[in-house]
Amino acid sequence: MNFQILDADYFRENERPVVRLFGRSDNGESVCCLVPGFEPYFYLSASGDLKKLGQEIKERFDVVKDIEVVERFEPIGYQETKQPMLKVTTFDPRNVPEIRDEVAGMIGVREIYETDILFRNRFLIDKGFKGMGWVSAEDDADVAKGDLLCDHAVRSSELTEVDRIANSPLKYMAFDIECLPHDGGMPTPDVSPIIMVSFAFEPAYNGHSTIVLVKKEVEGVDDDVEMFTKESDLLNRFFEIITEYDPDVITGYNINDFDVPYIVDRVNVLNESGAGIKPIVGRDSRNLSYRKIISRTMVSIPGRVVVDALPLIRQQFSLKRYTLRNVSKELLDREKLDVAPADMQEHWNDNGEKIRKFVDYARRDSELALELLLELKLLDKYIALSRVSGVLLQDTVSGGQTNMVEHILMTEFGKQGRVMSTKPDDETSAYRRKQNESLKGGAVLEPEKGLHENVIVLDYKSLYPTIMMAHNLCYTTVVKPGSYPEDDIIRSPSKGEFVKPDIFKGVVPSVLEYLLDQRVKTKQLMKKADDEGEYRVLDATQLALKILLNSFYGYSGYARARLYSLQMANSVTSIGRDNIARTEDIVCNRIGTVVLRDNAAYLTDEAGDIGEGDKVVKLSVAYGDTDSVFVHCKKDCDEEFAEDEFSLEDSALVGRKVASIVTASLPDPMELEFEAAAKRVLLVAKKRYAQWLFEPTNDGWKDKIKVKGLETVRRDWCELTSKMLIRVLELVLKEGDIDGSVHHVRELVDRVRNLDVQKDADIVEDLVLTKSFSKSPSSYKNKQPHLTVVENIERRTGVRPSIGERIPFVITAGKGLFVDRAEDPEYVREHNITLDVDYYIQKQMLPPVERILGVFGVDVATLNHDSKQKGLFDFDTSSEEKVETVKRVCRTGEQPSQQQDQKTQSSLFDF
DNA sequence: TCTCAAACCTAG
DNA sequence: TAAGCTAGGTTTGAGA
């Protein structure tokens, strides 16, 4: 029988561990496979007589089953030979943490290794099985299920890996609870009952795609509504449905921080007074439970995967707010039904439309959570990450990159006879954090500020991974500077030294090579894939490979990593900085100009004499950040090309030529790539620019405006700013229409200045700013507008928004600091409070737009011109002139006069 | 008026 | 069993 590994753990049978693999088989049954015989162990290195030390340990700890002297490499640093170590095998997995400290303290013991590897991971790593990987249980003998809640239970010691791309048909279930708050505030489990629970299923459960449990008799509701008089009966049914449906994935919105803890606490409260609820949810019949780990709640259910959609969406989408309402609207274009907390009691007490609306509202929330998970394919990426890294799905979903990188490295270390470090203690990681102050990052080239035409975007494909591969940068190759002959080492600009690959090929470079290779292969398969499901899996796989490739650098400088090497991290970035500087030099100086002739690009010495039809292109680097360069293509005389003199195809020719020349000068597999051609680029500052970009696709060029770092993409600016600025950027980049921009801004400024709350309702909505409430109020050293609002809300409702939430606010009219005048938009609406239009004009609208239009000599006075004050100069000019202005600014790169004098201004447009 | 640190959010 | 990394711009309020 073949099945896909969803989850793994172990239990004790006759005081011996038996691993349990939970999964779903190819015929759709849920499976639990028991695997006996795997033993826990760890390593230690010591000075002196290892055999004797082994004896001592064996005698001192009766939980030690076996001791063996083995040869292993240490985790960090190049070593010519392995050294003897002790491998300590215990009877029970929990013995390892029980005895490790005492063992570590014994005389002669230098270091202990792998004492903090979870047994289930130890099993997966040693056996080569992967999270969401397929295995075959050969001699599968059916066993009694006992407490196991799955279709099929088998026992097998002969498991083999199965190569299969497709995923098994998983069963998804979303749920959501409704509680009746005591006083309209936040419900608390000790007093507020759970009055409804809703479910959504995929596939359907007994023909139902949704179910709502209601603690009340309601008439005229759909047939998916079940009614109860006792809360405990409702809750028992809740658990019964879960175990009967037997979902693989349990989801919901904010369930980790709210629903699950609430249910657990509520069940405890009810059971204390003898309700006798059995909250069984696990495939091993375990009860629902949660653990608080430093203000974060962790939920895990044996045999299943718990996926809270909220954190996943937070991670994946940049939104101003993450309420279910907003997220559904933005990402699904679906409306949440709503019953305000304050109206819940009233709806609940009703026996007609209102209670039915309340039921519908509850049902919709589960539906939306499930839709978010499925329609946005939130899980695809994590399933792929599991299959590539080997980590169990629950751990890829709720853990970080560390998990996966360490799992991969430990697997490789194991194969090469190298032991893995334990996690660093707090002291060590604090020390490393201090050291990291010397960790330098990527280089950002000073932008040639202003508007440029015909810019080619080149970037390095996976820069940091390829640097590590090309230079054999690894924990296993790093050596103490000066300790090896020059000929044997690679030295980075940061003075890190690593042995050359012919002496020892690093584990990290090998892993990266494999991942990169897999990614290329996966992309090839994608081109051939005809089945949509298969394409989806492959696409997720290549994305997962990309994520993993890019995780290794960050991990190497992570203070809490098992493997940490500042020397390695600094070498990666120093080579990167060197590289981009070299690239700039090659482009500007060694190449300098490119000749376009007969649809091909030539270097000047390749081209020979310049003929009639030749186009000479002068190159310069206008900007670059870490792994990219923007190459400005100009005429030989340093002027911009005329409109039809330089085509997108010309850009591509030049771009590909430059990329190939630079790539040829680089060690394999580093590669500079032509990414796109920009017709116009506006460089405002480092990390702030806008491009009118043309990307090559299978059917021609696809154009778009790409904005980086400017206010349009920043969530702490109001929508009005974004909308205004995006329009201005479009006008400038596409039409070259400065006047139009000025007009547009003036018009908006006017509307805001004379804001009519009734007439300009659309604008009022766009005046809301949001900021992230990121830490406890007491740890803020300065006042913050959103903090003012948090305090206001807490004072009024008794409920404080939780840390991590984005808080919306507007600035209201009045005296004093802005911070003190920040207010909850809802409260402002309800109480008809006046907004500070001047703040919006002076602080939200004018500064961002001035930074852009300032390039063309437009200043605040021009933009803030009051339409009611007649008599100031008229701003109309013909369209050719507008374009001319842009052209002129591009061509000469001049900084037009900043004077606000009317004549100066018009003369600029008189050009 | 200028300088500084805190806070936020983004680029890569 | 909490957590990949650094570089950088901008706003704000406080204080010299």
Q: Mean pLDDT throughout A175-181?
A: 94
Strand B atom within 7 Å of A713 CB: yes
Q: Is the pLDDT of residue A876 over 50?
A: no
Strand B atom within 7 Å of A780 CB: yes
Strand B atom within 7 Å of A442 CB: yes
Q: Is the peptide bond before A669 cis (omega within 30 degrees of 0)?
A: yes
Cβ contact A24:A169 at 8 Å: yes
With helix as H, strand as E and coil as C, how does A613-625 read? CCEEEEEEEEEEE
Strand B atom within 7 Å of A52 CB: no
- Dist CA A406 CA A424 (whole Å): 13
Calculate the alpha carbon distances from A62 to A67, A80, A102, A661 in Å.
12, 36, 13, 66
3-state SS, residue A869: coil
Class of domain A172-378: alpha beta
Residue A293's pLDDT band, with cuts at 50, 70 and 90, is confident
Q: Which pLDDT does position A760 carry in this prediction?
A: 81
Residue A882's pLDDT band, with cuts at 50, 70 and 90, is low
Strand B atom within 7 Å of A806 CB: yes
Mind listing the pLDDT tens digit for each residue in A397-410?
Answer: 999 999 999 999 99
Task: Give the nearest nucleotide to A811, CA to C1'.
Answer: C12
Q: Which two tokens stand for residue A854?
A: 């300032």
Spatial distance from the CA of A80 to the C1' of C8 (Å): 43
Residue A292, H or E segment: strand A290-293
- Dist CA A116 CA A898 (whole Å): 65
Q: Is the pLDDT of residue A294 over 80?
A: no
Task: Give the nearest nucleotide to A463, CA to C1'.
Answer: B12
Q: Which pLDDT does position A871 carry in this prediction?
A: 35
User: Which residue ranges make up each domain of chain A?
Assistant: 172-378, 573-708, 719-910
Task: Give the nearest nucleotide to A714, CA to C1'.
Answer: B9
Q: Is the pLDDT of residue A314 over 50?
A: yes
Q: A573-708 — its CATH code?
A: 3.90.1600
Q: Mean pLDDT throughout A894-902?
A: 41
Spatial distance from the CA of A419 to the C1' of C1 (Å): 21
Provide residues 664-703 of A with CB closer than 7 Å to any strand C atom: 684-688
Q: Is the pLDDT of residue A46 over 90?
A: yes
Provide residues 468-487 of A with CB closer than 7 Å to any strand B atom: none
Strand C atom within 7 Å of A439 CB: yes
Provide residues 471-530 of A with CB closer than 7 Å to any strand C atom: none
Q: Which pLDDT does position A341 carry in this prediction?
A: 84
Calculate the alpha carbon distances from A811 to A717, A836, A841, A859 in Å.
12, 6, 12, 25
Q: Mean pLDDT throughout A513-535?
A: 94
Mind listing the pLDDT tens digit for each residue in A563-579?
Answer: 999 999 999 999 999 99
Strand C atom within 7 Å of A551 CB: yes
Lowest average pLDDT, out of A161-165, A453-457, A896-900, goes to A896-900
Residue closest to C11 C1′ by Cα = A843
- pTM of the full structure: 0.94
Strand B atom within 7 Å of A625 CB: yes
Strand B atom within 7 Å of A318 CB: yes
Strand C atom within 7 Å of A116 CB: yes
Which residue, A178, A318, A191, is CA-closest to A253? A178
Spatial distance from the CA of A349 to the C1' of B11 (Å): 53
Mind listing the pLDDT tens digit for each residue in A70-123?
Answer: 999 999 999 999 999 999 999 999 999 999 999 999 999 999 999 999 999 999
Q: A719-910 — its CATH code?
A: 1.10.132.60
Q: Residue A272: phi, psi to the nearest 5? A: -60, -30
Q: Which pLDDT does position A158 carry in this prediction?
A: 85
- Report the alpha-carbon angle A453-A458-A461, nearest 5: 160
Strand B atom within 7 Å of A778 CB: no
Nucleotides of strand B within 7 Å of the protein's CB atoms? 6-12
Domains A172-378 and A573-708 share a fold: no
Q: Which two tokens stand for residue A696?
A: 């090559």
Spatial distance from the CA of A819 to the C1' of C11 (Å): 12
Which residue, A572, A418, A565, is CA-closest to A494? A572
> Cβ contacts of residue A250 below 8 Å, gap of 6+?
A173, A174, A175, A242, A281, A301, A304, A305, A306, A307
Strand C atom within 7 Å of A851 CB: yes
Burial of A739 (0-12, 13-18, 19+ CB in 10 A): buried
Strand C atom within 7 Å of A403 CB: yes
Strand C atom within 7 Å of A547 CB: no
Mind listing the pLDDT tens digit for each residue in A269-285?
Answer: 999 999 999 999 999 99
Percent of chain A beyond pLDDT 70?
95
Characterize A856-890 residue by residue with b for buried, 16 or more Cβ atoms within 10 angstroms of its Cβ, and e for exposed: bbbbbebbbbeeeeeeeeebebeeeebebbbbbbb
Spatial distance from the CA of A698 to the C1' of C9 (Å): 37
Q: Is the pLDDT of residue A910 over 70?
A: no
Calculate the alpha carbon distances from A163 to A4, A166, A503 in Å.
11, 10, 34
| Mean of per-residue pLDDT scores for chain A | 92
> Cβ contacts of residue A852 below 8 Å, gap of 6+?
A682, A684, A710, A725, A728, A729, A732
Percent of chain A beyond pLDDT 90?
85
